[in-house]
């Protein structure tokens, strides 16, 4: 009685699909996936910055062109 069975979860899924529709759910999934990717990228960039600060090195560079990613 403490946990839901597979039938409970299928009914909940069916109700969610009926309320939001599959297209809306697909868009939400894409947005969440993009947010997770951006978060991972930011964490990786922060680790590189932290590593450079701990070693006391300065990274110098010159921007020659900008590209939109």
Q: How far apart are CA 50 and CA 14, in angstroms?
A: 46
Q: Which of 23-27, 45-49, 63-67 has the highest mean pLDDT?
A: 23-27
Does the pTM of the predicted model rise above 0.95? Answer: no
**Annotated domain spans of the chain:** 22-53
Q: Does pLDDT of 50 surpass 70?
A: no
Going by pLDDT thresholds of 50, 70 and 90, the confidence category of residue 10 is very high
Q: How far apart are CA 16 and CA 61, in angstroms?
A: 50
**Phi, psi values for residue 61, rounded to 5°:** -165, 170
In tens, the pLDDT along 21-43 reads 888 888 888 899 999 999 998 88
Integer-rounded Cα radius of gyration of the chain: 22
Nearest 10 degrees: Cα torsion 48, 51, 55, 58 = 20
């Amino acid at each position: 009685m403490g946990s839901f069975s597979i039938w409970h979860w299928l009914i909940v899924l069916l109700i969610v699909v009926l309320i939001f529709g599959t297209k809306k759910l697909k868009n939400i999934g894409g947005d969440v996936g993009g947010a997770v990717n951006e978060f991972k990228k930011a964490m990786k960039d922060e680790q590189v910055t932290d590593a450079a600060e701990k070693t006391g090195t300065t990274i110098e560079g010159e921007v020659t062109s900008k590209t939109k990613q």
